[in-house]
């Protein structure tokens, strides 16, 4: 049987002590090895970057993807990644976008640490080993691609979303048994990409029911220091009421190399532009999300940013 590369990225899974803090990877990995299934051939690796998952950014996930691509050149094709839950869905979406179907990868984490407070043995009550073993047991069963495993469920990596802060059944998404559109071609991570990703700037706004005049003022402030992407999470199917002044600001943002993107703050169902309130979108000439969730949109923006320099090009290649 092929060997599995098990990559540790930190998170609650590897924490010990009171209050919880990460055990250094050179101490944790030998302990982790004691609790791996004997019937599988597994080699453990420390990820290039290990820290609290809320501190991870695109650069860290690109470094992980680059490390996986290096392991692929050493004949590894099956990967399981242990990651913190805070940004687990973002990590899975980025890996799905970058690695596509070039390998078999399942990412997982846990709500409770694997080890006891003193780090000497496994906890009596923990979801860490169950989640890891579930991922390991399924890595040879899934089609090529990226998946997220949690609480005996397996989701397509593009679709996963953390839906509960503390419960064991914490994630939702499209089950791996259902068909979704997959990215067909992997992106080889380069040092140039890593350098460019350092400067990626995304501003995400969940719209609130405020007067148009106040929205206009808020957008005018953004115009003064425009990000690369301004994501507008509208109501329902993406509904957002505008006026000519707001549409003019959207056009000015593009002139400042900022691409406005219309999304929805609803977690399932996607964008629907049938309603008259959305007729302004064509006039404003902004992007409309066609992604499978918030994390998938983040991964798409990152990929566009790495491939093209200009907002007009991001919009031009939006549906590719």
**Ranges of each domain in the chain:** 4-172, 200-316
pLDDT digits (tens, 9 = 90+) for 178-235: 999 888 799 999 999 999 999 999 999 999 999 999 999 999 999 999 999 999 999 9
In terms of phi and psi (left: phi > 0; alpha: psi -120 to 50; beta: otherwise), the region of 77 is alpha
Matching fold, domains 4-172 and 200-316: yes
**Residue burial 306-316, b: 16+ Cβ < 10 Å; e: rest:** beeeebeebbe
Bridging pattern class, strands 15-16 and 21-22: antiparallel
Q: Which pTM was predicted?
A: 0.95
What confidence score (pLDDT) does residue 270 get? 82
HSE value, Cβ hemisphere, 13 Å, CA-based, for 40:
24
Instruction: Determine whether domain 200-316 maps to CATH 3.40.50.40.
Output: yes
Structure tokens at 133: 């073993």
Distances (CA, A) of 195 to 49, 293, 306: 15, 26, 10
Residue 273 has pLDDT above 80, yes or no: no
- Can you state the angle between helices 294-307 and 88-99, rounded to 10 degrees? 40
Domain 4-172, CATH number (from 3.40.50.1170, 2.60.40.10, 3.40.190.10, 3.40.50.10790): 3.40.50.1170
Identify whether the C-beta of residue 23 lies closer than 8 Å to the C-beta of residue 34.
no
Percentage of residues in the chain having pLDDT higher than 70: 98
Confidence bin at 276 (pLDDT 50/70/90): low
**Residue burial 168-190, b: 16+ Cβ < 10 Å; e: rest:** eebbbbbebeeeeeebeebbebe
pLDDT digits (tens, 9 = 90+) for 29-87: 999 999 999 999 999 999 999 999 999 999 999 999 999 999 999 999 999 999 999 99
Q: Work out the number of other CB atoms within 10 angstroms of the CB of residue 199.
A: 9
Whether the bond into 19 is cis, omega within 30 of 0: yes
User: First and final CA of the chain: distance in angstroms?
Assistant: 37
């Amino acid at each position: 049987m092929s060997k599995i590369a098990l990559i540790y990225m930190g998170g609650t899974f590897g924490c010990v002590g009171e209050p919880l803090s990460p055990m250094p990877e050179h101490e944790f990995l030998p302990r982790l090895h004691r609790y791996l299934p004997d019937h599988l051939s597994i080699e453990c690796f420390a990820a290039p970057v290990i820290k609290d998952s809320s501190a991870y950014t695109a650069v860290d996930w690109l470094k992980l993807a680059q490390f996986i691509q290096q392991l692929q050149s050493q004949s590894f094709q099956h990967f399981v990644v242990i990651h913190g839950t805070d940004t687990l869905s973002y990590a899975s979406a980025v890996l799905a976008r970058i690695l596509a179907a070039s390998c078999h990868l399942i990412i997982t984490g846990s709500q409770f640490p694997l080890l006891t407070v003193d780090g000497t043995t496994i906890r009596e009550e923990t979801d860490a080993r169950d989640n890891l073993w579930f991922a390991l047991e399924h890595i040879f069963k899934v089609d090529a691609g990226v998946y997220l495993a949690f609480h005996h469920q397996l989701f397509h990596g593009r679709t996963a979303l953390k839906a509960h802060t503390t419960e064991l059944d914490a994630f939702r998404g499209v089950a791996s048994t259902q068909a979704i559109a997959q990215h067909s071609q992997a992106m080889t991570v380069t040092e140039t990409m890593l350098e460019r990703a350092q400067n990626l700037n995304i501003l995400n706004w969940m719209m609130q029911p405020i007067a148009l005049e106040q929205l206009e003022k808020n957008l005018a402030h953004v115009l003064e220091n425009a990000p690369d992407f301004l994501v507008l999470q509208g109501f329902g199917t993406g509904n957002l009421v505008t006026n000519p002044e707001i549409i003019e600001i959207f056009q000015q943002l593009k002139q400042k190399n900022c691409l406005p993107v219309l999304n929805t703050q609803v977690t399932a169902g996607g964008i629907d532009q049938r309603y008259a309130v959305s007729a302004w979108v064509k006039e404003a000439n902004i992007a409309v999300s066609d992604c499978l969730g918030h994390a998938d949109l983040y991964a798409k923006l990152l990929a566009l940013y790495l491939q093209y320099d200009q907002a007009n090009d991001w919009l031009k290649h939006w549906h590719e």
